[in-house]
Amino acid sequence: MIAMKVYNNDTIAAISTAVGEGAIGIVRLSGERAVEIASKILRQNNKTSLSDRRSHSIFLASVVDPEDGSLVDEVLVSIMRAPNTYTREDIVEINCHGGAVALRKTLGLALAAGARIADPGEFTKRAFLNGRIDLTQAEAVIDAIRSRTDAALKAAINQLEGGLSRDIGDIAEDIANVLTQIEAAVDFSDEDIETLPKQHLIETLRGAVNKIDRLVRTAVRGRILKEGVKTAIIGRPNVGKSSLLNALLRRERAIVTPVPGTTRDIIEEMVNVRGIPLILTDTAGIRDSNDEVERIGIEFSRKAIKAADIIICVLDASQEICDEDLALISEIGRDTAVLVLNKTDLPQKISRENLQLPGNFKAVVKVSAISGAGVEALEEEIEKILLDGSVGIAGSTIITNARHEQLLEMALGHVREATALIEADQPEEIVSTVLKESLDCLAEITGEAIGDDILGRIFSQFCIGK
Ligand code: GDP
pLDDT at 324: 79
Ligand 1 atom closest to residue 368's alpha carbon, by position in its atom list: 23
Is the model more confident about 19 or about 404?
404
Is the model more confident about 459 or about 111?
111
Would you say 392 and 381 are in contact if contact means Cβ atoms under 8 Å apart? no
pLDDT tens, 310-341? 889 999 999 998 887 887 787 787 678 899 99
Is the model more confident about 163 or about 357?
163
Q: Using 50, 70 and 90 to split pLDDT, how confident is the model at 134? A: very high
pLDDT at 231: 86
Count of beta carbons in the 10 Å neighbourhood of residue 416? 18
Residue 375 host element (H or E): helix 375-387
Q: Using 50, 70 and 90 to split pLDDT, how confident is the model at 289? A: low
pLDDT tens, 33-85? 999 999 999 998 777 888 889 999 999 999 999 999 999 999 999 999 999 99
Residue nearest to atom 10 of ligand 1 (CA): 238
Range picked from 226-240, 266-280, 324-338, 420-434 for highest mean pLDDT: 420-434
pLDDT at 1: 38
Mean pLDDT of 418-447: 95
Q: How far apart are CA 85 and CA 127, in angstroms?
A: 9
Residue from 233, 238, 316 to probe ligand 1 pocket by mutation (most atoms less than 8 Å from CB): 238
CA of 432 to the centre of ligand 1 (A): 65
Mean pLDDT of 240-251: 81
| pLDDT surpasses 90 at 433 | yes
| pLDDT surpasses 50 at 263 | no
Mean pLDDT of 287-301: 54
Mean pLDDT of 187-208: 80
Mean pLDDT of 94-111: 93
CA geometry: angle 372, 377, 381, nearest 5 deg: 135
Q: How far apart are CA 381 and CA 377, in angstroms?
A: 6
Phi, psi of 93 (to 5 degrees): -115, 125
What is the value of pTM for the model shown?
0.73
Q: How far apart are CA 39 and CA 49, in angstroms?
A: 8
User: For ligand 1, which residues put their CB under 6 angstroms from it?
Assistant: 235, 237-243, 256-258, 263, 342-343, 345-346, 368-370
| pLDDT surpasses 60 at 290 | no
Rounded to the nearest integer, the mean pLDDT of the chain is: 84
Alpha helices of 120-239 — where are they, by DSSP H?
A: 122-129, 135-146, 150-160, 163-187, 198-217, 219-227
Residue from 370, 371, 378 to probe ligand 1 pocket by mutation (most atoms less than 8 Å from CB): 370
Select from 72, 18, 13 the least CA-distant residue to 41.
72
Q: How far apart are CA 339 and CA 321, in angstroms?
A: 13
β-pairing, 276-282 vs 229-234, is parallel
7-21, 92-106, 160-174, 421-435, range with the lowest pLDDT: 7-21
Give the CA radius of gyration of the chain. Answer: 30
pLDDT at 264: 45
Ligand 1 atom closest to residue 342's alpha carbon, by position in its atom list: 23
